[in-house]
Chain A
Amino acid sequence: MERLRQALAWRWRQVNRAQLWLLAGLALALLPHVGRLPWLLILPAALLLGWRLGVELKLVRLPPRPLRWLLVGLAVAATWVSYQTLLGREAGVALLVTMLCLKLMEMDRPRDVAIVIGLSYFVVITVFLFDQSLLMGAYMLLVVALLTTALTAFSRPEASVPQRANLRLATTLLAQAAPLALLLFVLFPRIPGPLWHLPSDATSVGTGLSETMSPGNISRLSDNDAVAFRVRFAGDTPPRDRLYWRGLALTHFDGRTWHNPNETRRDAGAAHSFDFTAIGEPLRYTLTLEPHQRRWLFALDMPASAPPRSTVSADVEIIARDSVKTLRQYTLLSYLDYRLGAGRAPRQFTYLRLPPAIAPRARILARQLRAESRDDADYVQRVLDYIRQQPFYYTREPPLLLDDPVDEFLFDSRRGFCEHYASAFTVLMRAAGLPARVMTGYLGGEDNPLGDYFIVRQSDAHAWSEVWLRKRGWVRIDPTAVIPPERVESREDLERIAPAYAALTREAPDWAKRLWRKAGYGWDRVNNAWNQWVVGYDQGKQLAFLKGLGLKGFDWQRMLGLLFVGLGLVVAIIALQLFRRRPPPGNAVGEAYARFCRKLARRGLARKPAEGARDYAARIIPRRPELATQIRHITRLYQRLRYAPSTPRDGLRHLQQAVRRFRP
């Protein structure tokens, strides 16, 4: 065992350090893809990395050429099996990663090394297609530093420099590159939009709200603290219980699940006209949406327009042209009070349809309540009263509903999350002949006290109803809002749906919690700034930034011009600094003595270049006998410091002092 350890240690010392830098860089670059790529591909990649390390340690041999080709074939096959395609973002990344790891088996020539390192840089960028957070950015900077170190180590294989020096050199190069990169980042004209559409990735799993709503799939999000989006209001912030972030409208019900068939969205063209009347002042805000891999965008109920590259559907959902794969930012106007679709009754077929066999008891209740009501509005009120008066609970752990979720919820369990209430309420409306639909989105959000913006998290996901009333049009009804606070089980939900009541009963958090929360807000603020200025830096920001510098009306040609001038300038500065002739690493002793000689040279007693210190002293002392003591002292100190095996303590300081005091 001990011998094995020693043998390994010995081999470890023999390993080409450049290879180690490369392997470390590549392994760290691949790490974020673990879990994103199928294990069918990750495991072979890890195996190949380990194989290469084993080859470097001379524990295993490289695979023979036929085996390599076989492995290539297997990699392609594995990718195909996993994705049924070789194109697109994820399949492409998977293929790149496995091919790159296979290339590790064939790295004899400098060209192969260059290919491997170049592709490793490319792996870094593929990570950014999935995750552009601040932490990932910092992590990838480390990876880039490692890969660059590998490049430097490969380019001076024979140099007897410690590996630290390679790391330092790479860091220096990156530090010198940083201002240039910043200049490019700020000034390189950004081209919006995809250049072409790649096959969409069928397997990509979105986070957050899903396309459908069934019991349990919103309460599933209630523990998810991930940020859904951040909002910055241009003016005052409206009260939290009015912040209904509109997402999807769900019109079709199968007894358990609400969904929206795609046709209604597809025919929602830009020409779709709305019978929309705004009341009051608009709210202006900028929303920064975290990528959720789906096409819909969120807006405060009720948006007056759609952001660029998106359209509004017939149900007033904002649908983007492409799914949101990177951070997306847009500015909108919304009206908290409005009248929508009041002029014309909506299509009965879409908004009244219920599957015939479901919710018999609910239908009876609806008929009964409708019969008691004066009109539709009164009916809505009665249903809400019913929910308020009957023992309905708002809970995060609703009981499982088996056969007929609506009836079971309304009459048996009476415990549910927002999706239960919205679903049951909408069914009650339709059963009584009122056009209604389920809306999903978010409710509320928290104000970041360390920055003037709102954070809306996945746990804020919500569902509510919209009912069409004659003359009033579509009216938003949130049935969960009528549940008395004492029947809300979770403190967080209470804060959300009844903030005023929650404020009365709020306990003062202890200092640790406060600190934790504050740190959380601070971190979120940093992330927000990162999102705003780095991830969300686009053409608009670019122009705004230049405008801020007083450079108005810049088109891309002038931007490029400015970029090249700036690049030239920075390159010139770096070049000047690099090419400046620096003297060889001087020694302080020699410099002090040179100063001494210069002082004498000014008096016409210059030292000849080939003259030793002792000979020099012997030559000048007869010419300046009054300086003899000083000259002898300095000469002796200098000789001792420069040539003797042990130097006197503080000798250098004494020499420098003596030279300073020396005035010939």
Chain B
Amino acid sequence: MRSGWWPCCRPCPSPDMLLRQRLSPARFLRGEGPRAGPLTLRQRRVFILPTRQGLFFAAIVLLMLIGSINYDASLGYALTFLLVALSLVAMLHTYRNLLGLRVDIGPAEPVFCGETLRVPVTLENPTGQARFTVSLHFPQQAKAVCDVPAGGWARVALPLSAKRRGRHALPRITLATAFPLGLFRAWAYAEFDARVLIYPRPASATPLPRDSVWQTELSGGQGQGADDFAGLRNYHPGDAPSHVHWKTLARGQGLYTKQFGGDRAEELWLDWRTAAGDVEARLSTLTCWVLEADAGHFRYGLRLPDQVLPLAHGPAQRDRCLEALALFGAGDGA
């Protein structure tokens, strides 16, 4: 259970903020602070500046103007002005390409430290104008580019490399576009009040602590399974061929079936004390064990210095244990 994923809503920034606030450079650089729930890119959120290509274009146009003056070429003036006007119009179009988009994020599946989080971001376009080549990225992370059809939506899994275990606030998302001419870049910041969970990096295959495997009393008797060779018994019709002990048959000693024991109802305690190394190494080892125990259909529990997770099995138990390991020593959240 990943409760606490969506903390209660903070009050949104007031729509009619003071002019001084609107013009503050901090807003320009950092956006407006995190918020929960979908975010609509309105005029005051979208900024625009020329791109490098735009500056080059401006230089060309300036040269054209000088040439037109020098050679008194009226059509030269006309072309120069047409390009100036074109870039003005393109500026409006670029701005419009972001305006009115609704941004929202979904919960990102937790990943292990060192992997890449995929944060699902939805761009909804409630207007009648299709949007093209909108790029999104987290700071210093790879970009994702998408088009948003008119009246439709687009979804991207925005990459975010997981560097430290724990629960972290989601960094700011930058949305940008240079469509339609690439002369201007409009951008907006979207900051969400959301957390991402990063599990510790699992240690490379560490065998499970077998001495802490307990036979369950609840199911009684000895189970039959496929994991551990437990001996031979006489063959009964219906036994699987792979379990037939062919060597004895070949020696003419009759047909025997290999017996395996104990893959069912085994209980396993994963204990902080059995793992070795410093805090992070222990956490890594325990993470690896949790994954192995889950893969082996064990009923297992987790004992950490500050808490104990009771015996259970299945994906829910795995998630619980991994979350406990991720948050170990950090209180709840960062």
Query: Which A positions have Cβ atoms within 8 angstroms of B?
Result: 89, 110-111, 114-115, 118-119, 121-122, 124-125, 128-129, 132, 136-137, 140, 144, 148, 151-152, 154-161, 169, 173-174, 176-181, 184-185, 188, 190-196, 198, 325-327, 534-538, 567, 571, 574-575, 578-579, 581-585
Contact = CB atoms under 8 A, between A and B. Distances in A.
A177 B79 CA distance: 11
A584 B82 contact: no
Contacts of B67: 125, 129
A159 B177 CA distance: 13
Contacts, number: 176
29 contacts: A111-B53, A111-B56, A114-B56, A115-B56, A118-B53, A122-B60, A128-B79, A129-B71, A132-B75, A137-B75, A137-B78, A148-B181, A151-B180, A158-B133, A158-B147, A176-B89, A177-B85, A178-B85, A180-B81, A181-B82, A190-B77, A195-B69, A534-B75, A571-B92, A579-B99, A581-B100, A582-B129, A583-B151, A584-B126
Contact of A326 (B57, B71, B133): B71
A326 B80 CA distance: 17
The 10 closest A-B pairs by CB, nearest first: A584-B151, A180-B85, A114-B53, A582-B128, A177-B85, A184-B81, A181-B85, A156-B132, A128-B75, A181-B82
Given A132-B73, A177-B85, A156 B179 contact: yes
Contacts of A567: 88
Contact of A536 (B74, B81, B83, B127): B74
Nearest to B96: A578
Interface of B: 52-53, 56-57, 60, 63-64, 66-86, 88-90, 92-93, 96, 99-100, 125-129, 132-133, 145, 147, 150-152, 178-182
B63 A174 contact: no
Contacts of B93: 173, 578
B74 A534 contact: yes
Contacts of B100: 581
A173 B84 CA distance: 12
Nearest to B86: A177
- Chain B contact residues: helix, strand, loop or mixed: helix
Given A111-B56, A571-B92, 7 more contacts: A128-B75, A173-B93, A184-B85, A185-B78, A581-B127, A584-B126, A585-B150
Contacts of A173: 86, 89-90, 93, 180-181
A292 to B, nearest CB: 15
A155 B133 contact: yes
Nearest to A575: B92
Contact of A128 (B73, B132, B145): B73
A184 B80 CA distance: 9
A152 B81 contact: no
Given A114-B57, A156-B180, A581-B100, A184 B72 contact: no
A151 B71 contact: no
B84 A181 contact: yes
Nearest to B91: A571
Nearest to A127: B75
B72 A192 contact: yes
A537 B75 CA distance: 10
Nearest to B177: A155
Contacts of B126: 584
A152 B88 contact: no
A159 to B, nearest CB: 5
A198 B179 contact: no
Contacts of A582: 127-129
Contacts of A119: 60
B181 to A, nearest CB: 5
B161 to A, nearest CB: 24
Nearest to B125: A584
Contacts of A579: 92, 96, 99
Contacts of A188: 77, 81
A561 to B, nearest CB: 17
Contacts of A124: 79
A321 to B, nearest CB: 12
A584 B75 contact: no
Contacts of B80: 125
B60 A118 contact: yes
B72 A326 contact: yes
Contacts of B125: 584
A125 B64 contact: yes
Given A125-B76, A578-B93, A585 B182 contact: no
Nearest to B69: A191
B77 A169 contact: no
Nearest to A197: B70
A234 to B, nearest CB: 23
A536 B100 CA distance: 46
Contacts of B60: 118-119, 121-122
Contacts of B92: 571, 574-575, 578-579
A185 B80 CA distance: 9
Given A114-B57, A185-B77, A585-B150, A155 B70 contact: no
Given A574-B92, A578-B93, A584-B150, A152 B181 contact: yes
A601 B179 CA distance: 42
A177 B75 contact: no
